Amino acid sequence: MKKVQPLIFELSSPGRKGYSLPALDVPDVPVESLVPKGELRQVPPDLPEVGEVDIVRHYTKLSQLNHGVDIGFYPLGSCTMKYSPKVNEQVSRLPGFAYAHPYQPEKASQGILQLMYEMEQYLAEIGGVSRVSLQPAAGAHGEYTGLLIIKAYHKKNGQKRTKVIIPDSAHGTNPASSVMAGFDIVNVKSNERGGVDLEDLTRVMSEDVAALMLTNPNTLGLFDENIHKIAEIVHAKGGLLYYDGANANAIMGWSRPADAGFDVVHFNLHKTFSTPHGGGGPGSGPVGVVEHLVPFLPVPTVDYDGKKYFLNYDHPDSIGKVKGYYGNFGVVVKAYTYVRALGPDGLKKASEDAVLNANYIMRNILEYYDLPYNRHCKHEFVAAPFRIMKATGVKTLDIAKRLLDHGVHPPTVYFPLIVHEALMIEPTETESKESLDYFIDALNSIAKEAYENPEIAKTAPHDTVVGRLDESGAVRKFNPRWRREA
């Protein structure tokens, strides 16, 4: 029986220890003689005092309260919750990777640098770009890096462009990254096919525009059929095209962003390249650019002189650094292993099956669910329960919560914003037909149940360790930390 667990602080007992450290083996001196007395801590931090077995049980019991890809289906749209291969975890823990210090000599880091150099080449090939920096730590971080590169490029050309165009269907990170990069946002509408409205784009495109940010396929899971025309419109006025790679799992080996006119591309290694999402990170968001933007990439680049790999800081036009060291290397190792496991055909097949799976689910839930954009989708699609809602009052949130009782993670809900009551479903390629059928049955049975007894969904979930939580209460009575009762 799964139960709510006490906090680790509530298990603490004064004097108990769960660690062992070696005894001091150098001559002992009082700390007061090493550190000025005024700098010494007066009251120790109130950390828990627990034994090792209690620690292990605490986290093990807690872990059982969580859903993960290894437990069940996780069709969270735009997050690409594909299976994370175990060999990736194994090799990333090899001491030669995990225990390497970022400032150790290059000659003692040749395997690491080779891996980074090769990974850059693979990503450049998949994206069609000239060079890639592995430095950004996440997708949004890649966006920010890409936008700074765009800004630096325009500045170098003597242009002050102040605007970034973003479709109304875009991820929230796009406008947030643009504002951080010092740009004003201009929205562009979607057309009735779910793509960018060309007329509206022509209207808002001007010589003040630094870039258009686009996710393709977009958050509706639709490939923009006019992408080459979009690129023409933007380039004609001197703007650049930014590719948000959140949805790149649909296109590996089928279409390359740079071939479609994109100038800057980021990839989410934790989505497309199978590295685990870690409960919210670490991710990795490499950013790639076409030839004329290469000088602006972050430093260092990893270069090869024919004999050895080295870190190259000699890029006078570089934007500098967006994080310490060279990126989330441990994540890059896993993504590298994934690319080497799949090879050219496997990567293409992964995208193919991701698209197949999404279309299969989409076509098998239409008896009850509605499609705002009825086209073949790519790796994900957006549905909505318009008929169910009208007839029973059961909303997207209720359906999502009822799915929890079926042991699957709900899709992304209420996003993209341009679809009311959106259910954004991304199955990924690693799910079997049986797993997809189970989900289809779950969605359809929830719909049927809604017509018979809507209260079940409205009060769901019923089988989870906690029920619906008071989120507004969490804001009103803000409680972000435990405190010992006085």
Partner 1 sequence: MKYTPHTDADRKAMLQSIGVKSVEELFADIPKEVAFTRRLAVPEAMSELELQKHLGNLAAKNADATSHVCFLGGGTYDHFIPAVVDHVISRSEFYTAYTPYQPEVSQAVLQTIYEYQTLICELTGMDVSNASMYDGASAVAEAAIMARATTGRNKILISKSVHPEYRQTLATYNLGLEMETVEMPLKNGTTDTEAVKKLLDGKTAGVIVQSPNFFGAIETPRALVDAVHAAGALLVVIADPISLGLLEAPGNYGADIVMGEGQALGNPMSYGGPHLGFFATREKMARRMAGRIVGATVDNRGQRGFVLTLQTREQHIRREKATSNICSNEALNALAAGVYLTTLGKQGIREVAELCVKKAHYAAKKVVATGKFKLAFNAPFFKEFTVKGAFCPCKVQDELLKHNILGALDVGHWYPELANHLSFAVTEKRSKQEIDELASVLEGVQ
Residues 281-340 that bind partner 1 (CB under 8 A): 281-284, 298, 319-331, 333, 337, 339-340
Q: How far is the CB of 17 from partner 1 (least distance, A)?
A: 6
Q: How far is the CB of 353 from partner 1 (least distance, A)?
A: 5
- Using the rule CB under 8 A, give the single segment among 141-149, 207-215, 383-391, 447-455 that binds partner 1: 141-149
- Cα 222 to chain centroid distance, Å, stands at 19
- Residue 73 lies near partner 1 (rule: CB under 8 A): no
Q: How far is 230 from 377, CA to CA, in rounded Å?
A: 20
Q: Which of 409, 419, 424, 443 binds partner 1 (CB under 8 A)?
A: 409
Other Cβ atoms within 10 Å of 200 Cβ, number: 17
Q: Which is nearer to partner 1, 16 or 391 (by Cβ)?
A: 16
Q: How many residues does the chain have?
A: 486
Q: How far is 210 from 471, CA to CA, in rounded Å?
A: 39
Residue list 358-387, contact with partner 1 (CB under 8 A): 359-360, 363-364, 375-376, 378
The DSSP annotation for 178-242 comes to HHHTTPEEEEE-B-TTSSB-HHHHHHH--TTEEEEEEESS-TTS---TTHHHHHHHHHHTT-EEE
Buried b (16+ CB within 10 A) or exposed e, 277-300: beeeeebbbbbbbbeebbbbbbbb
Q: Which is nearer to partner 1, 227 or 451 (by Cβ)?
A: 227
Residue list 186-215, contact with partner 1 (CB under 8 A): none
User: Which single residue is written with the structure tokens 């936008």?
Assistant: 147
- Residue 74 lies near partner 1 (rule: CB under 8 A): yes
Q: Which of 156, 162, 453, 482 binds partner 1 (CB under 8 A)?
A: 482
Buried b (16+ CB within 10 A) or exposed e, 395-422: bbbbbbbbbbbbebbbbbbebbebbebb
Q: Which of 199, 207, 292, 343 binds partner 1 (CB under 8 A)?
A: 343
Say if strands 412-413 and 423-425 run parallel, antiparallel, or are unpaired: antiparallel
Q: How far is the CB of 456 from partner 1 (least distance, A)?
A: 14
Quick one: DSSP state of residue 23? Answer: P
- Residue 400 lies near partner 1 (rule: CB under 8 A): yes
Closest to 450 (Cα-Cα) out of 399, 408, 379, 406: 399
Question: Which string of x and - marks every residue 410-449 that binds partner 1 (by CB under 8 A)?
Answer: x-x--x-------------xxxxx----------------
Q: What are phi and psi of 133, to 5 degrees?
A: -105, 130
Q: How far is the CB of 390 from partner 1 (least distance, A)?
A: 25
Question: Which string of x and - marks every residue 227-246 that binds partner 1 (by CB under 8 A)?
Answer: xx------------------
User: Which single residue is written with the structure tokens 């562009």?
Assistant: 188
- Cα 50 to chain centroid distance, Å, stands at 35
Q: Which is nearer to partner 1, 237 or 308 (by Cβ)?
A: 308
Residue list 3-62, contact with partner 1 (CB under 8 A): 4-5, 7-9, 12, 16-19, 21-22, 24-29, 31, 34-36, 38-50, 52, 55-56, 59-60, 62
Q: Which of 156, 159, 162, 172 binds partner 1 (CB under 8 A)?
A: 172
220, two tokens: 């509706």
Q: Which of 73, 75, 112, 426 binds partner 1 (CB under 8 A)?
A: 112
327: region left, alpha or beta (phi > 0 left; psi from -120 to 50 alpha): left
Q: How far is the CB of 192 from partner 1 (least distance, A)?
A: 15
- Residue 1 lies near partner 1 (rule: CB under 8 A): no
Q: Which is nearer to partner 1, 65 or 391 (by Cβ)?
A: 65
Report the run of H or E that residue 174 belongs to, with start and end. Answer: helix 173-180
User: Which single residue is written with the structure tokens 């990439």?
Assistant: 297
Q: Which is nearer to partner 1, 35 or 391 (by Cβ)?
A: 35
First to last CA, the chain: 33
- Using the rule CB under 8 A, give the single segment among 202-210, 418-426, 446-454, 472-480 that binds partner 1: 472-480
Q: Which is nearer to partner 1, 432 or 445 (by Cβ)?
A: 432
Closest to 220 (Cα-Cα) out of 244, 199, 247, 248: 247
- Number of residues counted as binding partner 1 (CB under 8 A): 207
421: β partners: none
Q: Which of 180, 236, 366, 391 binds partner 1 (CB under 8 A)?
A: 180
Helices 110-127 + 329-363 axis angle, to 10: 30
Closest to 207 (Cα-Cα) out of 178, 180, 190, 186: 186
- Residue 101 lies near partner 1 (rule: CB under 8 A): yes
- Using the rule CB under 8 A, give the single segment among 237-245, 355-363, 386-394, 450-458 that binds partner 1: 355-363
